Structure 1
Amino acid sequence: MRWRPALLLTAAVVLLAAAGAVTVRASTRKATVPTLHLSATAEQWRVHEVNRQLAIALHNNGDVPVRVTRVEPVLPSFDGEATVGTDALLPVGGLRVDVPVSYGTGTCVPTAAASHVVVTAHPEGSAATQRITIPLPDPNPLLDRLLAADCATQRIQRSVTLRFGPWTDAGAAGLRGDLVVERTAAATGTVQVRELDGNVMYRLELPSAVPLAEVTAAQPTVSVPLTARPARCDAHALAEIKKPFEFLATVTLEGGDPLVTAVPVSDDDKAALDRMLRRICKLPG
């Protein structure tokens, strides 16, 4: 029976070796990369509206800070949306961080298709990046509104062009000019301009007739006389306004529903209007 101690010793060595192997494997196992819990919405403030951007509002709902380095909007109902690089730190607690992205041009569909953003992100302090697909709320009233606005503009542009004619200095009365309405070759019926609105900085005085203008195959061009003058003269408003040269026209095509679009304003138009406002309001140039 003297072989038993040797057998027990051999078994003990095997067990110790196995335990050592387990210890080595455990110590060399890679650290677990935390799962990132992000959510997103699409917002738009005046500054983004001017630049045709969406603010992708990112929220970190996890328990580690997250750094986002890239945001890619995927908007099936828009053409030309653009990916942006960024360096946005999302703190713990769901604090919102906005990343502006260009949304392109809306197509003429009734409602926006389900959309999402793809973000490249990593836990703060880690180099392990992740690509995360985050759905945007669906249905999405903001995307629907942007689609409708772009579609209205496209439909109007297929049938008519709008522009301001040359401006004439009218002294204290402001500037005299015209809204020039020209029917395009692609138009298929009567086009009416029902209204033309001023804005926070500029008031437009127009004839009281409704419609303001009507163009047909027989009369494809009409000019509507108007006067532009300051609507207010405080420098603070001039400095803060995001769209000082937005003039919205309400148009109907072949008696259909009213569509609204902005009249294009050239650099010469902007310069003439700005000079007039500063002259009458006695603001520095």
Structure 2
Amino acid sequence: MSARAAVLAALTAVLLVAVSGCSNPPSPAVSTAPAAPTPTGSDTSATAPDTAPVVVDGLGLAILQNRPDYGARRLQLSITNETDASVTVTAARFSSPQFTTPVAAEKSTDVPAGLTRYLPVALPDAVCPAPAIVPELTVTVTDATGASRDITARPADPFGVLDRIATEDCLDVAVSAVATLRLSDTLRVTGDGPDAVAHLALIVEPRPKGVTTDTGGASDTAPAAPSGNGPATLHLDHAASTILLEPADGADWPLDLDVAPGDGPATLTLDAVPARCDPHAIAEDKRGTFIPVTLELAGGPAGTVSIPSSDPLRLAIYAYLASTCGFAVPNG
């Protein structure tokens, strides 16, 4: 096998391991939204989430996100069988006012006594500003006798998933009214061996002046700022490192760019080096190729948006890490 073929085979194997995490039991995703205030008293027990599901008619109901769900915009419906007999969930329907439509799980699943099963659902478009969040989960259950029943409840949200998603969704909507942020599919690399530097291109594409995101039509004025005072403007402050990549010089990538509808496109170069050099970092990666950008809308929200890498860019980043970190490759 040639060295090039070996590299491709190794990267393919790593990618398969990385994406296989989608089937693992969910763990809470790390939020890029602003953190909630911490109580100032000495007793911090109030910040610990109650992870117990809401139990109705023998079923424990909750909602969660694991790390692979985060970028894919999925939610996990967690269903625990609190009875002493196996049941089959034949349907599950989730809704919340923060989303435009309800969603349903695509297939049924057996839930043995005492165990938990996770049903993934794709999240619909967001409603912004987000209304009061009152989720509802309806589960259709069939027992061993063939009897079927519907169970409806407000599921537990032990890690505040829905509040976080609402904050992030509406920040994304506000940002998209001003500009589109994306990473180029192409990764430029300079230097050799451990001194190689990857240059990611962050592309900023302002919306045409007068085009709104609500109707897709045109008007005579630019989108209004969230405050209602003047046209919307966006300030890109900085981009932060990930578990795989960090700035070649400094703790963050300074951006310091102001953007308004009608401006010309801009490309910002992020010079990056490996944040860590071990194959496990790639094999276990879920968010390392998402670049967090901290920004603020004039008179509106501020926070961090995560810019995803396309498949070609993600493969190029993994190849850069393998080459720069000197992952062993068989000769021949």
| TM-score normalised by L of structure 1 | 0.75
1:204 equivalent to 2:255? Answer: no
Q: Would the aligned equivalents of 1:181 and 1:223 in 2 still touch at CA under 8 Å?
A: yes
Q: Which ranges of structure 2 fall in alignment gaps of 5 or more residues?
A: 1-55, 212-222, 224-230
Local SS of the residue matching 1:84:
coil
Give the CA deviation at 1:265. 2.2
How many pairs align? 248
Within 5 Å, which residues of 2 pair with 1:228-243? Answer: 228-243=272-287
Local SS of the residue matching 1:182:
strand
CA distance in 2, matches of 1:148, 1:180: 24
Local SS of the residue matching 1:127:
coil
Give the CA deviation at 1:195. 1.3
Alignment identity in percent?
25
Within 5 Å, which residues of 2 pair with 1:18-167? Answer: 36-79=57-100, 81-92=103-114, 95-123=115-143, 125-137=144-156, 141-165=160-184, 166-167=186-187
Give the CA deviation at 1:70. 2.1
Q: Which amino acid aligns with 2:240?
A: D
Q: Give a deviation string over 1:79-117, Cα, whole Å, max 9, x none.
A: 35333212122415xx43332222323321345532222
Q: Which amino acid aligns with 2:246?
A: R
Q: Is the deviation greater in 68-77 or in 192-201?
A: 68-77
Q: Is the deviation greater in 47-56 or in 210-219?
A: 210-219
| TM-score normalised by L of structure 2 | 0.65
Which consecutive aligned stretches of 4+ in structure 1 deviate over 6 angstroms post-superposition? 206-209
Q: Which ranges of structure 1 fall in alignment gaps of 5 or more residues?
A: 1-34
Q: Which amino acid aligns with 2:145?
A: S
Within 5 Å, which residues of 2 pair with 1:155-234? Answer: 155-165=174-184, 166-171=186-191, 172-185=195-208, 186=211, 187=223, 188-205=231-248, 212-216=256-260, 219-234=263-278
Local SS of the residue matching 2:312:
helix
Q: Give a deviation string over 1:164-221, Cα, whole Å, max 9, x none.
A: 3453221223222432222212452332111112210111347889652122467533
Q: Which amino acid aligns with 1:102?
A: A
Greater length-normalized contact order (CA 8 Å, ≥ 6 residues apart): 2
Q: 2:305 aligns with which of 245, 258, 261?
A: 261
Q: Give a deviation string over 1:17-64, Cα, whole Å, max 9, x none.
A: xxxxxxxxxxxxxxxxxx943231111221332432222222333454
CA distance in 2, matches of 1:164, 1:51: 17
Structure showing greater Rg: 1
Q: Which amino acid aligns with 2:82?
A: N
For the aligned residue pairs, the C-alpha RMSD in angstroms reads 2.9
CA distance in 2, matches of 1:140, 1:179: 31
CA distance in 2, matches of 1:245, 1:210: 18
User: Higher helix proportion, which one?
Assistant: 1
Q: Which amino acid aligns with 2:141?
A: A
Q: Would the aligned equivalents of 2:238 and 2:253 in 1 still touch at CA under 8 Å?
A: no
Q: Would the aligned equivalents of 1:38 and 1:58 in 2 still touch at CA under 8 Å?
A: yes
Q: 1:88/1:226 Cα in 2 relative to 1: closer, same or farther (>3 Å)?
A: same
Q: Give a deviation string over 1:123-155, Cα, whole Å, max 9, x none.
A: 2x2112222223224898321111111111111
Q: 1:87/1:154 Cα in 2 relative to 1: closer, same or farther (>3 Å)?
A: same
